[in-house]
Amino acid sequence: MVTAIPQELKTEYPFESHFMPIQNNKLHYVDEGSGEVILMLHGNPTWSFFYRNLAKHFSKTHRVIVPDHMGCGLSSKPQEYEYTLKSHIDNVCRLVQELKLKDITLVVHDWGGAIGMGLATRHPELIKKMVVMNTAAFRSIEIPARINILRNPVGEWFIRQFNGFAGPATFMASKKGLSPLVKKGFVLPYDNFETRIATAKFVQDIPMTEAHPTYNTLKEIEEKLSTIKAPVLLLWGEKDFCFTMNFQKKWLEFFPQAKSVTFPKAGHYLIEDEKEAVIREMEKFLKD
């Protein structure tokens, strides 16, 4: 587990660390500011670092909570652990309960979408608003070949041995490019075979068939999306090679009243490519 942020990254990521024990492990989270709650859930292969700019900005007016999913970021990285969608949802629900969070503005990206909607469908009464960015929380057979090929045991070995997911994402997921310092921040927690376990397990947990252990969990979330009545802001990078515009259109089927803004020149790491615009749209949405 990474226990300290290098000095050169503290301007980018200046947050105090908090930990919630889960059995023999620790779930790391950022808890900054005060006021109404914004809960931000990252995906794979990122960590709370992905939301650093939003956290720095919105913690001036809100209480911003950003956990690292188990195996990610500064959380524990157990080698014997059930890295499944259900486990990640359970952990987030426990964190929400421990911190007594309510009237939550939920912000989700990538796997954070399925995890966050797991929370929202279990406890819709806790969700005030939702910001959805380049993600999914429903079944789909659409998957890039470069990701699908990594779902087998050889793919897991490649990801863990060569950082074959978080590493390539630093130049594939942003269309405008990341600085060397920001690239270092994204891969910081994933520096050896053991620490890359969750980045591999997330890929294996994509349920492409009914036989997959996570299929029914995702199916249940999808079937309950309509129970969430919170207003939705849908922000989308149009150049995402993974969560394409087909996924954006699917979200609008579930939430036809959502305010939708797309960014023609942005990729999967939308906040990196369009930081100011994302902040501006979120500010308007929070004030409505």
Q: Give the pLDDT score at 152.
A: 85
Whether 25 is in a domain gets the answer yes
Whether 112 is in a domain gets the answer yes
Extract the runs of DSSP E, i.e. beta strands, from the chain: 17-22, 25-32, 37-41, 63-67, 104-110, 127-135, 232-237, 259-263
Q: Give the pLDDT score at 200.
A: 97
Q: Give the pLDDT score at 172.
A: 95
Residue 1: pLDDT over 60:
no
288 CB-contact burial (10 Å; exposed 0-12 / middle 13-18 / buried 19+): exposed
Confidence of residue 3 (pLDDT cuts 50, 70, 90): low
Q: Give the pLDDT score at 2.
A: 52
Whether 283 is in a domain gets the answer yes
Percent of the chain with pLDDT over 90: 91
Q: Is 138:206 a contact under the CB 8 Å cutoff?
A: no
At 119-145, the pLDDT tens digits run 999 999 999 999 999 999 999 988 776
Whether 1 is in a domain gets the answer no
Q: Give the pLDDT score at 222.
A: 98
Cβ within 8 Å of residue 274, ≥6 positions away: 237, 263, 265, 266
Confidence of residue 147 (pLDDT cuts 50, 70, 90): confident
Region 84-99: mean pLDDT is 98
Whether 2 is in a domain gets the answer no
CA-to-CA separations, 163 to 98, 174, 194, in angstroms, rounded:
33, 18, 11
Average pLDDT in the chain: 96
Instruction: Please tell me the total count of domains within the chain.
Output: 1
Of the ranges 114-128, 134-148, 177-191, which one carries the lowest mean pLDDT score? 134-148
At 211-253, the pLDDT tens digits run 999 999 999 999 999 999 999 999 999 999 999 999 999 999 9
Nearest to 198 by CA among 207, 189, 185: 189
Whether 231 is in a domain gets the answer yes
CATH number of the domain where residue 244 is located: 3.40.50.1820
The per-residue b/e assignment along 32-66, b for 16 or more CB within 10 angstroms, e otherwise, is bbeebbbbbbbbbbbbbbbbbbbbbbbbeebbbbb
* 127-135 β-sheet, strand order: 17-22, 25-32, 63-67, 37-41, 104-110, 127-135, 232-237, 259-263
Print the domain residue range for 239: 7-287
Region 262-283: mean pLDDT is 98
Q: Is 76:135 a contact under the CB 8 Å cutoff?
A: no
